[in-house]
Amino acid sequence: MKQHWMLLAAGACLLGGCQKESADANTAAQNAMAGNAAASPTGPAKNPDMTEFAKTVDADGDGHMSRAEWQAQGLPQSSFDMFEKGRGFVTLDDYRANAAPPGIDLDGDGVLTVAEFREFDRQMAARMAADGKAPPPPPPPSPAASRP
């Protein structure tokens, strides 16, 4: 379930050069896999504020970002699928509860925008392709997603 965040974190590592010691990297990876905030020697990292991101994606304002709303923003399907849980939507709380990959807030202002999310995903995919690594295939659609 946390594969896409881990993939994004790996991409951030590739984009940033990953100069950390392996012990720090292992701790961050373990925390991310456990769903905890990313740890660093100075304490847990804070996820960027995704409030405006969610408002932009959630076009009808019902508090649920549907697959159609997600796709309309050109966001990576794998990230949606990871948190969808068969419900047909994701919420802001789904993303707040999991450590965001380091570097996803491209301008470092503490706020994640739809444009930053798309650009981070694009950069990561390009970097992985250049390194000859392919992202994992998306999970199969949930039964709830295939209902009319």
Q: pTM value? A: 0.61
Distance CA 104, CA 108 (A): 9
**Of 14-23, 37-46, 74-83, 99-108, minimum mean pLDDT range:** 14-23
56, amino acid identity: T
pLDDT one-digit tens code per residue, 92-123: 999 999 889 899 999 999 999 999 999 999 99
Percent of the chain residues past pLDDT 90, beyond the cut: 43
How far apart (Å, rounded) are the C-alpha atoms in residues 64 and 80? Answer: 12
